């Protein structure tokens, strides 16, 4: 069957194709989204970096949690390097987020409510403050064009059932903990990370999508980190800050990204890959 006939749908960054009953081809494009809007300008090689970095992390995490990858080489030549063949999962409709530091939407929620997901936090925290211990801060998975919202653990229980809620929350914190520890050994802080989990045809819960990439996580250099921020970031925060600086209102359409901003963003994605894996990109 030609691949065009197998097309399922596109997310903001990835295109999904069905390849067999319970298999997918997950193809990472060079698209970049900010505040849930896809920017009109691609970042060259971003799809390849995200794919390579996720594969590296899935390996580092394999003893903690099963993952969806079947093969990164058995993919059509046109997608080589930025596609994986994976198990098709029934995704749990929650964004599984862990934070060790306070910034971004978590900071905004804390400033508004003094809590995140109903969890009270101490007073006086600033942008970039380290939390006493990492916290689980799930959000809903909003339909296209809408923003994800923080939800309480009770709402997660209602959505996926109490057993999966507790199990996947623990997995989320375990993955964050392992990721933060490995990154720390390489001089990097993982401020927060978003995971996606789903159930395979045989019922196994698995880590899906991408993991601990600069699209799904915030990475800061440990030696220059300071609460009160802003902190230098290896992730797409650089583009978010640039986009907001243009006066953009976070609604469609997003502004065209100038060449120099594309280049800096691309270099930061390469840089975080190299620091984490110890291998230059492309290998
Ligand atoms: N193994 C899998 N089986 C089924 N769906 C998956 C699997 N891995 C990832 N996905 C889904 O594929 C999509 C990946 O595309 P992408 O990362 O571009 O999405 P997104 O824009 O972040 O989110 P959305 O699709 O919700 O808009 C996500 O919807 C994700 O939940
Ligand atoms: Mg995604």
pLDDT tens by residue, 245-272: 999 999 999 999 999 999 999 999 999 9
Q: How is 259-279 classified by DSSP, letter by letter?
A: HHHHHHHHHHHHHHHHHHHSS
List the end-to-end C-alpha distance of the chain, in Å, as a whole number: 32
At residue 21, does pLDDT exceed 80?
A: yes
Higher confidence at residue 5 or residue 256? 256
pLDDT given at position 122: 97
* Ligand 1: centre distance to CA 22 (Å): 15
Distance CA 200, CA 36 (A): 27
Residues 150-176, mean pLDDT to the nearest whole number: 98
At residue 91, does pLDDT exceed 90?
A: yes
Query: Which residue among 23, 26, 83 is best mutated to probe the pocket of ligand 1, counting the most ligand atoms within 8 A of its Cβ?
Result: 26
Pocket of ligand 1 (CB under 6 A): 11-14, 16, 24, 26, 68, 86-89, 91, 141, 144, 196, 198, 208-209
The contacts of residue 26 (CB under 8 Å, 6+ apart) are: 14, 15, 16, 83, 84, 86, 209
Residues 161-184, mean pLDDT to the nearest whole number: 98
Q: What b/e sequence results for 190-209 when a residue is b if at least 16 CB atoms lie within 10 Å of its CB, and e otherwise?
A: bbbbbbbbbbbeeeebbbbb
Q: How confident is the model at residue 1 (pLDDT cuts 50, 70, 90)?
A: low
Distance CA 91, CA 101 (A): 27
The contacts of residue 63 (CB under 8 Å, 6+ apart) are: none
Q: How confident is the model at residue 229 (pLDDT cuts 50, 70, 90)?
A: confident
Q: How is 108-126 classified by DSSP, letter by letter?
A: HHHHHHSEETTEE--TT--
At residue 2, does pLDDT exceed 90?
A: no
Relative to the CA of 28, which ligand 1 atom is closest?
Answer: 18
Task: Give the ligand at the shortest distance from the Cα of 13.
Answer: 1
Q: How confident is the model at residue 63 (pLDDT cuts 50, 70, 90)?
A: very high
- Helix, strand or coil, per DSSP, at residue 190: strand
pLDDT given at position 181: 98
Specify which residues 116 forms β-bridges with. Answer: 119
Relative to the CA of 144, which ligand 1 atom is closest?
Answer: 27
Q: What is the mean pLDDT of the chain?
A: 96
Specify which residues 193 forms β-bridges with. Answer: 98, 217
- Give 68-74's long-range contacts (Cβ < 8 A, gap of 24+): 68/198, 68/200, 68/206, 68/207, 68/208, 68/209, 70/23
Q: pLDDT > 90: what percent of the chain?
A: 93
* Ligand 1: centre distance to CA 250 (Å): 21
Distance CA 236, CA 30 (A): 13
């Amino acid at each position: 069957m030609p691949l065009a006939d197998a097309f399922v749908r596109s997310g903001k960054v990835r295109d999904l194709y069905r390849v067999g009953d319970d298999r997918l081809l997950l193809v990472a494009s060079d698209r970049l989204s900010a505040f849930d809007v896809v920017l009109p300008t691609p970042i060259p090689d971003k799809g390849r970096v995200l794919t390579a970095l996720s594969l590296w992390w899935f390996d580092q995490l394999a003893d903690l949690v099963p993952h969806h990858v079947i093969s990164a080489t058995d993919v059509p030549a046109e997608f080589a390097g930025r596609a994986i063949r994976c198990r098709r999962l029934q995704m749990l409709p929650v964004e599984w987020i862990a934070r060790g530091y306070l910034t971004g939407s978590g900071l905004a929620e804390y400033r508004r409510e003094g809590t995140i997901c109903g969890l009270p936090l101490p007073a006086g925290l600033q942008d970039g403050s380290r939390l006493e211990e990492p916290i689980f801060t799930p959000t809903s998975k909003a339909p296209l064009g809408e923003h994800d919202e923080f939800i309480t653990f009770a709402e997660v229980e209602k959505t996926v059932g109490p057993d999966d809620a507790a199990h996947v929350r623990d997995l989320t914190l375990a993955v964050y903990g392992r990721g933060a520890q490995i990154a720390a050994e390489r001089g990097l802080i993982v401020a927060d990370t978003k995971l996606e989990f789903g159930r395979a045809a045989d019922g196994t819960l698995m880590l899906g999508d991408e993991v601990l990439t600069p699209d799904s996580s915030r990475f800061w250099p440990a030696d220059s980190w300071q609460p009160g921020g802003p902190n230098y970031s290896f992730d797409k925060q650089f583009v978010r800050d640039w986009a907001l600086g243009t006066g953009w209102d976070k609604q469609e359409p997003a502004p065209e990204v100038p060449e120099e901003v594309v280049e800096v963003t691309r270099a930061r994605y390469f840089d975080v890959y190299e620091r984490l894996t110890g291998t230059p990109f492309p290998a």
